[in-house]
Structure 1
């Protein structure tokens, strides 16, 4: 398969994860999109760097923010490695990292790189503006 086809197929897998799993809570699809030997090189605090840890994080986010979803601003590829810049949105209706439900609407930016092999996400690296998220939930003083 030409590299451009590999890149487009990889982008589609990552987009489905963002829109249908993270945004829609389709955990059966999560199982189909993630390799069993998936490795998260930047796991969130308290999460294991494997497929189970990623699923636990997704479920935690959707439990705390039932309307959790992302707006993808752009995706770039290098072969089977997909980098995505997106903004997550949601309303806190459940506990999140020990913070009781606030009813506040939040948004925070994330950049993820995901490697897709044979149609499955096999690796992840990412950074998220969690400081901004914690400010919006009232867990950190605002910088303003």
Structure 2
């Protein structure tokens, strides 16, 4: 039996699929269809802004840094209104990434996210990327890393 605050597998697969497709395609319009207007992204990308438009500067940076970015969803775990995702990102570093000049090297790294649903949309996302793996693959650290 599904309770009112539980996410069904079908809903999770549809919304999570569109969420990561929006990120891979840098598509804010698609992102707006799957997150709430007050969506929280943790850690915040650029300050304390809420909602899908906070990702516009991130998408602009990604379009330059990883124009061929692809996200493969590996696992989706559902518990009540929470959805956990394990995924893999692949792309070619064709532009500046965290201050690292373009290397034209292919990179692949893990991402892990937990999404809190409100109704049929994502209200909050906790997200982690394996940046250490990226820096190892690129052979350098960001210049401003303290």
Q: Provide the TM-score with structure 2 as the length reference.
A: 0.82
Match for residue 15 of structure 2? Answer: 13
Matched residue, 1:25: 26
Q: Does 1:56 align with 2:57?
A: yes
Q: How has the CA–CA distance of structure 1 residues 54 and 3 changed in structure 2, closer, same or farther, with 3 Å as cutoff?
A: farther
> Any idea what SS the aligned residue of 1:6 has?
coil
Residue 2 of structure 1 is matched in structure 2 by 2
Q: Report Cα offsets for 1:57-85 as digits up to 9, x if no partner.
A: 23322321011111111100112211000
Matched residue, 2:76: 75
5+ unaligned residues in a row in structure 1: which ranges? none
Q: Which has the larger displacement, 26-35 or 73-82?
A: 26-35
Greater than 4 Å deviation, 4+ residue runs:
none
RMSD value, Cα: 2.2
The CA deviation at 1:22 is 1.5
Cα drift, residue 3 of structure 1: 4.2
Q: Is the 8 A contact 1:11 1:77 kept in 2?
A: no
Q: Which residue of 2 aligns with 1:106?
A: 107
Aligned equivalents of 2:129, 2:18: Cα separation in 1: 19
TM-score for the superposition, normalised by structure 1: 0.83
Q: Say whether 1:86 aligns with 2:87.
A: yes
- Could you tell me how far apart the structure 2 residues matched to 1:96 and 1:59 are? 11
* Per-residue CA distance 1:59-115 (angstroms, 9 max, x = gap): 322321011111111100112211000110000111111111110100100110011
